[in-house]
Chains A and B, each alone.
Chain A
Amino acid sequence: MIEVRNLSFAFPDNVVFDDLSFILNDCPVTAFLGLNGEGKTTLIRLLLGLLKPDKGNILIDKHDIGGLNEKERAKLLSYVPQENDDSLLMSVSDFICMGGINRQSLFTGPDENERRIAKDILKELDALALYDRKMETLSHGQRRLIYLARAIFQDSRIMVLDEPVSSLDLVRQHAFLKHLRDYTQKNGRRVLMSIHDPSLAYEYADAFVFFRNHGSYDVLYRNDPSFKEKFSNDISILYENRIRPVYIDDGVFMSYGSEDPDR
């Protein structure tokens, strides 16, 4: 369970959260939905302890994350950041094994067993061919997968992803999110991600946190009896009635424009 209590945070010239509170029950996949600049990335960085809140606190499974050191936090949370070109000077295999650096001996680095685990993870992600490559030679889509592999290798209770699929093509977006869902089902781990496409979120997430005006206005679960109705309502609040969900079979299509009945 994630509990955000009276959280306030401001950058020098920008108040991001003022007294934000919400509770999120355990779900395999949770999606953070909100427009640009509503503080999704900031909240993720606060969750990870990369930023310190001005006021309030965040409890994850009853641990106040402000009171944990890096090691303890890394056991609780792993992180797949947005596109990052700053840590690419190593092989894919070494990069993945960095996810377990605190489990490894100080002097010898990852052992045979850990290398094998890294290989198995890549196999699951259909990316075994990348094992011996160097990070800097990979495409964006391939790098996303390797970041995912490292987070899986880290084996924390909750994986936090910041816009993991926004730079991928449509096929790779679905492949990535499927891998993510498979991972939660196989390992009983939880995933928390920010995502821009509500139809992708609808398809793959079990819980939704909606952000607007620097606050969260709803936490919605898929098993809610009137889920579709509430989801439609939340979407129209999110996009100020400019986007209307149209449900087709199991999916949802986001329609933009003047047909909006409320206009």
Chain B
Amino acid sequence: MKTSKKLFLTCCFLLVCLVVSLLSGRYELSLHDILSVLSGEASGTMNANIFYHVRLVRCAQVALSGMALAVSGYLYQSCFHNPLVSPDTLGVSGGASIGAIISILFFHDGFLLRQVLSFTGGILAVLFSLLLSGMIGTGKRSSLLLAGIITGALANSAVMAFKYLADPTTQLAVIDYWLMGSFSLINRRKLLSTAIIVVPVLFLTVLFRYRLKALLLDEEEAQTLGINVRRLYRICIALATLLTAASVSVSGIVSWIGLLAPHIVSLLFRSSFEETLLLSMPAGAAILLLSDTVARTLTGAELPVSIITSFIGAVVLFVFLSVKRRRNL
């Protein structure tokens, strides 16, 4: 199958998910309503307000986060030659959690501050991992992974300590809700601030895809081909970290997208590196849109989105692995 056909199919799936997501919600908007809003007939009405200020903003944010997390996951998996690592291998999520919790506990929950602190926390955690990897090894692949595990453990310990200290009647619930991720509090400002980071980084990633492909090579081989391996890893980690930190800082922790999207794409299409990188974007957006739609329609209240993504992740992974196994037998 050609790349363009694969891309077309994935984008069709994304479009379906997008329409379903735009149509569903507490406030009823039919396809007809949306079309009339889009054609400008219904401007100024409640329908138009809901559509432009709530539904569309949320869907755009979800799609953007889905793309960012999927690409970030695939970059990390390629960088570490490990199909099971996720975007938070080097501690982005842990650091972001600490940032968010600090804002919840000590600054009475200004939303902008929470976003800024969790973004900064995510970046700092990864810098800490890089620093550690220089101290325990040579800054190569294996030492990075180990440094990431250490950072993750430290962050986890801090998160637990903060939760222990938090006021159980007010703060604890907010923290837990953040740690399970949700797009319920999305607004235009958040969408814009994510897009400012995510869109250019995705663009750069796609632009440099042939260089990034060298990540798939063995470290020493790549070096003898004239590649500055350490710089390549740093660039890859920087791109992946910015993507994850930008999306996690507005939604809280959203798990599994970074693992699911690239795996589904490469199992379905047997795609090459460049293709998987490209296709992971619509695939990640589509999966997260579906998950978010389920999260906000399944019950009367909003469910945290990681409940859904983790469940879908488990089911899909099982189905794919068993199908793959049967094919091999």
Query: Which chain B residues in 208-258 approach chain A with CB under 8 Å?
Result: 208-211, 213-214, 216-218, 220-229
Q: Given contacts A50-B220, A104-B210, could you give 16 more A-B pairs where the C-beta distance is less than 8 Å?
A: A45-B220, A48-B220, A50-B224, A70-B228, A70-B229, A81-B220, A87-B218, A89-B216, A98-B214, A101-B225, A101-B227, A102-B226, A102-B227, A109-B213, A110-B210, A154-B225
Query: Which chain A residues in 71-87 approach chain B with CB under 8 Å?
Result: 71, 73-75, 77-79, 81, 84, 86-87
In the complex, residue of chain B having the shortest beta-carbon distance to the beta carbon of A99 = B225
Known: A104-B210, A106-B211. A90 touches B224 (CB 8 A): no
Q: Is A236 an interface residue (CB 8 A)?
A: no
A98 CB to closest chain B CB, in angstroms?
6
Q: Is A69 an interface residue (CB 8 A)?
A: yes
In the complex, residue of chain B having the shortest beta-carbon distance to the beta carbon of A102 = B226
On chain B, the residues within 8 Å of A90 by CB distance are 213, 216, 272-273
On chain B, the residues within 8 Å of A109 by CB distance are 209-210, 213, 274
Complex Cα distance, B210 from A48, in Å, reads 24
Residues of B within 8 A of A (CB): 81, 207-211, 213-214, 216-218, 220-229, 272-274
Complex Cα distance, B214 from A110, in Å, reads 13
Complex Cα distance, B222 from A240, in Å, reads 39
On chain A, the residues within 8 Å of B228 by CB distance are 69-71
B85 CB to closest chain A CB, in angstroms?
15
Known: A69-B228, A70-B226, A70-B228. A86 touches B214 (CB 8 A): no
Q: Are A89 and B227 in contact (CB under 8 A)?
A: no
On chain A, the residues within 8 Å of B220 by CB distance are 45, 48, 50, 79, 81
A140 CB to closest chain B CB, in angstroms?
16
Which of B81, B213, B220, B225 counts the most chain A CB atoms within 10 A? Answer: B225
The residue that B221 contacts in the complex, of A49, A81, A104, with Cβ under 8 A, is: A81
The residue that B226 contacts in the complex, of A84, A86, A101, A107, with Cβ under 8 A, is: A101
Residues of A within 8 A of B (CB): 45, 48-50, 69-71, 73-75, 77-79, 81, 84, 86-87, 89-91, 94, 98-99, 101-102, 104, 106-110, 154
On chain A, the residues within 8 Å of B214 by CB distance are 98, 101
Complex Cα distance, B227 from A69, in Å, reads 9
On chain A, the residues within 8 Å of B221 by CB distance are 79, 81, 84, 87
Complex Cα distance, B214 from A49, in Å, reads 19
A70 CB to closest chain B CB, in angstroms?
5
Ordered by A's residue number, 25 sampled pairs between the chains whose C-beta atoms are within 8 Å are A48-B220, A49-B223, A50-B223, A70-B223, A70-B226, A78-B224, A81-B218, A86-B81, A86-B218, A87-B217, A87-B221, A87-B222, A90-B272, A94-B213, A98-B217, A98-B225, A101-B214, A101-B225, A101-B227, A102-B225, A102-B226, A107-B208, A107-B210, A108-B210, A109-B274
On chain A, the residues within 8 Å of B274 by CB distance are 109
Number of CB contacts from chain A to chain B under 8 A: 76
A73 CB to closest chain B CB, in angstroms?
7
Complex Cα distance, B223 from A77, in Å, reads 11
On chain A, the residues within 8 Å of B213 by CB distance are 90, 94, 98, 109
Q: Are B225 and A74 in contact (CB under 8 A)?
A: yes
Complex Cα distance, B235 from A106, in Å, reads 14
The residue that B272 contacts in the complex, of A74, A94, A98, with Cβ under 8 A, is: A94
On chain B, the residues within 8 Å of A106 by CB distance are 208, 210-211
Q: Are B272 and A84 in contact (CB under 8 A)?
A: no
Complex Cα distance, B227 from A87, in Å, reads 14
Complex Cα distance, B189 from A10, in Å, reads 58
Complex Cα distance, B220 from A98, in Å, reads 13
On chain A, the residues within 8 Å of B209 by CB distance are 109
Complex Cα distance, B227 from A98, in Å, reads 10
Complex Cα distance, B214 from A98, in Å, reads 7
In the complex, residue of chain A having the shortest beta-carbon distance to the beta carbon of B211 = A106
Complex Cα distance, B217 from A89, in Å, reads 8
On chain A, the residues within 8 Å of B216 by CB distance are 87, 89-90
On chain A, the residues within 8 Å of B217 by CB distance are 86-87, 98
Known: A50-B220, A89-B216, A90-B272. A71 touches B210 (CB 8 A): no
In the complex, residue of chain A having the shortest beta-carbon distance to the beta carbon of B276 = A89
Complex Cα distance, B213 from A106, in Å, reads 11
Complex Cα distance, B272 from A260, in Å, reads 57
Complex Cα distance, B222 from A73, in Å, reads 12
Known: A84-B218, A86-B218. A73 touches B226 (CB 8 A): yes
In the complex, residue of chain A having the shortest beta-carbon distance to the beta carbon of B206 = A107
Known: A50-B223, A70-B228. A107 touches B207 (CB 8 A): yes
The residue that A91 contacts in the complex, of B208, B225, B272, with Cβ under 8 A, is: B272
In the complex, residue of chain A having the shortest beta-carbon distance to the beta carbon of B216 = A89
Complex Cα distance, B223 from A154, in Å, reads 13
In the complex, residue of chain A having the shortest beta-carbon distance to the beta carbon of B78 = A89
> Which 7 pairs across A and B sit closest by C-beta, in order of nearness?
A74-B226, A109-B210, A79-B224, A86-B218, A87-B217, A87-B218, A102-B226
In the complex, residue of chain B having the shortest beta-carbon distance to the beta carbon of A88 = B216
Complex Cα distance, B221 from A250, in Å, reads 36
On chain B, the residues within 8 Å of A104 by CB distance are 210
On chain B, the residues within 8 Å of A75 by CB distance are 226
Complex Cα distance, B102 from A18, in Å, reads 56
A105 CB to closest chain B CB, in angstroms?
8
In the complex, residue of chain A having the shortest beta-carbon distance to the beta carbon of B228 = A70
Complex Cα distance, B228 from A101, in Å, reads 11
